[in-house]
Amino acid sequence: MIRPSGRLQALQNDILEDIARGEPLAACMERLCHRAEAISPGAICSVVTVDDQGCLRPLACPSLPQHYIEAIAGAPVGPSIGSCGTAIHRAEAVEVTDIAADPLWQDFTELALPLGLRACWSVPIKARDGRVVGAFAFYFRKARPPRELERRIVATCVHLCAIAIEQDEVRARNHRLAYFDTLTGLPNRAQFNAAIATMSAATRRYGLMLIDIDYLKTVNDTLGHAAGDALIAEIGGRLGAALAGCLACRIGGDEFAVLVPDCTEPARLRRLASAALGAIAAPIEHDGHSIQPSATIGAAIAGEDGGDSVTLRQNADLALYHAKETRRGRYVRFRSRLRSAMMRRIRVRKEVDGALGDERIVPHYQPIIRLDTAEIVGVEALARMRLADGRLVAAGDFQDALHDPKIAHRITSLMLAATTADMAGWQAEGLHFQHVGLNVTSADFEKGDLVQRAAKALERAGLPAQQLVIEITEQVFMGGRRDGVARTMEALRACGMPVALDDFGTGFASLTHLLDFPIDIIATCAPGSRSLATAGAAIRMAASGVMTTFCSPPG
């Protein structure tokens, strides 16, 4: 016959082996209870944990009826919540030798006494850091205190419970780190990859949306990375709430992916995208600042827009890229023509990149004429690309390359250096202009160093700042973050460089926008009676002092 001490040692060895093998926590604890009850006949064991809200969660109660387990589930930990709830609250053992008479059980006697439960001894389970993570209890069918053997059994079981629960917490934490994003709580790239592979293998029809946060870098640069993190976290939460039934994942810094199961209708994908954009759009308050979130979505449907997960992701990415270039802040679904457009953009960018390396991006100059005297008062520097055969290509023919921020930034730097050098050469030869205009791109505003680059170019050429007019197109004017664009424009003017709005009237800018931005010059109104009326109104604004100059280069 095996003595109780030997059986207790065997229990400990077996449970530790289960824990080491990674057995599920609930199964481990059920086995623990059964083994402890076998060593102490007549005792009934239970293991409960406490959740983040401070409520009891039964983990293993194999000898208690289901209705009892359900009754204690969710009970709040407190000073008079039976033996377990009180032990966890006090962080010390609680011995109730007579349930019928003890005030700790006054709210639970009708639950316990019909089951023949007369006494209950509960000991808190503590993690190594001192947290109380649960309680182990012995119930007795007689009103009595525990015996010495039962105390030894409980001490051993509590120790094993603490090890098992901590190991389970480590596994859960590692699982979350492996499969969930720590900032948003959403599934991460690894879980997304597994999910899309499973859906594709099952040949299921599903939708894929790729979502990019707009202007995250601007938020990080202006308000700090804590604000950027708050923006990401809030958008992640909004996506999870707005797209119930879908799998929303964070797959990169400002990138999210959403898998829409059983999606065969483009209209459904469009509705979900609209819901996502609507949920994202509400302002976010952070540290006294209001952030206006914006996101762009590209999408594709499995089967229709790609037969396998790799192709589908590529096509959704093409749609997203196209949306960011042409419909930022909106939704675009993949179409086959986007692939042709992308191949053309890649070809053009490669050509422009080569031209930059060979210094074949050169300025050409268009005169600016004063209308009342027909005098040439300045010129506008226009970028041209010289091909290998000597032909010149206008900027409109390599416009696609300017969507690449690095290329756009390099072109502006080259044009600043070449234009200011030409200006210095003209002055040395006695040819003087009031000013020379130079177009810049949205990439120059996003980079944040436009003022410094322009000032250095002027300093190297020995030119006064007022002779270089920085021109921004209506697209840049309307497409960037208003506060960032306006701040850069103010900084340029503070350094003495006038700011001109080019192509005014060709898009969506109106006269009211001119009041919100520090514009010195309006350049190039579109032809037509409507634009003539706009030009007249702008001239009157200039006469009243709102703007200093209005100039219109010829066709």
Q: Is the pLDDT of residue 483 over 70?
A: no
Q: What is the pLDDT of residue 530?
A: 54
Give residue-wise pLDDT tens across range 321-355. Answer: 888 877 889 999 998 888 777 777 778 888 888 88
Q: What is the pLDDT of residue 543?
A: 57
Asked whether the beta carbons of 443 and 475 are under 8 A apart, the reply is no
Listed range (43-52, 223-232, 511-520) with the worst mean pLDDT: 511-520
Average pLDDT over residues 245-267: 93
The percentage of the chain sitting over the pLDDT mark of 70, rounded to a whole number, equals: 88
**DSSP of 499-510:** EEEETTTSSS--
* Burial (CB count <10 Å: 0-12, 13-18, 19+), residue 170: exposed
Q: Is the pLDDT of residue 555 over 60?
A: no
What is the three-class DSSP state of 41?
coil
Residues 524, 509: Cα–Cα separation, whole Å: 13
What is the three-class DSSP state of 186?
coil
| Of 291 and 306, more confident | 291
Q: Is the pLDDT of residue 193 over 60?
A: yes
Residues 229, 224: Cα–Cα separation, whole Å: 9
Sign of the Cα torsion 90, 91, 95, 96 reads positive
Residue 167, strand partner residues: none
Listed range (20-24, 96-100, 488-492, 508-512) with the worst mean pLDDT: 508-512
Instruction: Write down the H helix ranges in 91-224.
Output: 109-112, 148-179, 189-201, 216-223
Average pLDDT over residues 111-116: 95
Give residue-wise pLDDT tens across range 131-174. Answer: 999 999 999 999 999 999 999 999 999 999 999 999 999 999 99
Residues 398, 354: Cα–Cα separation, whole Å: 12
Q: What is the pLDDT of residue 548?
A: 46
Average pLDDT, the chain: 87
